[in-house]
């Protein structure tokens, strides 16, 4: 089983619908992230969280919200989906403190969302 | 502003040959980390290699090595003895050493390994 699990892996929905993407991890990491990938643009940060009491906006948070239900769970919601939110979404985790580890990101397998 | 540039949208390499994927970065920070990730067609992101800005030796991980030239702000990935399974997108990324939340990703290079 993957250490970072995302559900659903694929979803097709219609404009205006509410969508939730879920992420759970077994790595015991404190830091969790949601990224969006669009062709030719690399990955862009949507939201990140240090722990269950900490939520922070990334560079493209408009139109998204998140919830950190537990250390191991971090969900991303699109309250009213629009076509330009069609993308590949990644959850990622990281551990360590600055200066103490490389802190590389560990990614889930991605959730491909299509908004018609 | 911090930025990662990967100037090769796509590359071809013959199986068993070495290939270099270019990455340049722009930062005014003295301390930072550089990463390479692989994304196969199946979509997952796989961590390959890390280089700290104060590391004097180039990082190596199996067939992967990072050619780090700090003065030129470049962090090229070298894959030796290419295999068919190396065909994938490759992303260069940078993170501030003391801010674990700001990763900057390049737009990627698609590598095709020919038999």
Mean pLDDT rounded to a whole number for chain A: 91
Are B62 and B80 contacting, i.e. CB atoms less than 8 angstroms apart?
A: no
User: Considering only CB atoms, which chain B residues are within 8 Å of A98?
Assistant: 97-100
Question: Beta A111-115 vs A10-13: how paired, if at all?
Answer: parallel
Each residue's pLDDT tens digit, B28-87? 888 899 999 999 998 899 999 999 999 889 999 999 999 999 999 999 999 999 999 999
The 3-class secondary structure across A23-85, one letter per residue, is EEECCCCCEEEEEEECCCCCEEEEEEECCCCCCEECCCCCCCEEEEEECCEEEEEECCCCHHH
Q: Which helix (H) or strand (E) holds B50?
A: strand B46-52
Among candidates A31, A40, A99 on the partner chain, residue whose Cβ is nearest the Cβ of B98: A99
User: Considering only CB atoms, which chain A residues are within 8 Å of B47?
Assistant: 104-106
Q: Is the pLDDT of residue A70 over 70?
A: yes
pLDDT band of residue B6 (cuts 50, 70, 90) is: very high
Percent of chain B with pLDDT over 70: 96
Residue to substitute from B25, B47, B52, B103, interface A, most A β-carbons within 10 A: B103
Are A3 and A27 contacting, i.e. CB atoms less than 8 angstroms apart?
A: yes
Are B14 and B84 contacting, i.e. CB atoms less than 8 angstroms apart?
A: no
**Residue B29, pLDDT score:** 86
**Residue A101, pLDDT score:** 65
**Residue B28, pLDDT score:** 86
Q: Is the pLDDT of residue B2 over 60?
A: no
Q: How far is A24 from chain B (nearest CA, A)?
A: 15
Each residue's pLDDT tens digit, A5-30? 999 999 999 999 999 999 999 999 98
Give phi and psi for B80, each to the nearest 5: -90, 155
- Cβ distance of A45 and B103 shorter than 8 Å: yes
**Residue A80, pLDDT score:** 95
pLDDT band of residue A98 (cuts 50, 70, 90) is: low
- Report how many Cβ contacts below 8 Å link chain A to chain B: 63
Mark which residues 58-77 of B lie under 8 Å from A by CB: none
Burial of B54 (0-12, 13-18, 19+ CB in 10 A): exposed
Each residue's pLDDT tens digit, B87-97? 999 999 998 87
Cα angle for residues B53, B59, B61 (degrees, 5° grid):
145
CA contacts within 13 A on the Cβ side of A67: 8
pLDDT band of residue A99 (cuts 50, 70, 90) is: low
| A41 in contact with B, Cβ within 8 Å | yes
């Amino acid at each position: 089983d993957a250490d970072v699990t995302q559900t659903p892996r694929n979803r097709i929905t219609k404009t205006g619908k509410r969508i939730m993407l879920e992420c759970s991890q077994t790595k015991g990491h404190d830091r969790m992230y949601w990224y969006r990938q669009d062709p030719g643009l690399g990955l862009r940060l949507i939201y990140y969280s240090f722990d269950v009491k900490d939520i922070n906006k990334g560079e493209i948070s408009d139109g998204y919200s998140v919830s950190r239900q537990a250390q191991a769970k971090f969900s991303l919601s699109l309250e009213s989906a629009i076509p330009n939110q069609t993308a590949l979404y990644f959850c990622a985790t990281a551990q360590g403190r600055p200066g103490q580890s490389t802190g590389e990101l560990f990614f889930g397998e991605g959730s491909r969302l299509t908004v018609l | 502003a911090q930025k990662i540039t990967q100037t090769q949208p796509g590359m071809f390499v013959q199986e068993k040959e070495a290939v270099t994927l270019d990455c340049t970065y722009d930062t005014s920070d003295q301390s930072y980390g550089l990463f390479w990730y692989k994304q196969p067609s199946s979509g997952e992101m796989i961590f390959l290699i890390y280089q700290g800005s104060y590391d004097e030796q180039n990082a190596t991980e199996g067939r992967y090595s990072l050619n780090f030239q700090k003065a030129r702000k470049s962090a090229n990935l070298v894959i030796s003895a290419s295999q068919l399974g190396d065909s994938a997108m490759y992303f260069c990324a940078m993170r501030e050493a003391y801010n674990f939340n700001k990763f900057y990703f390049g737009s990627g290079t698609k590598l095709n390994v020919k038999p």
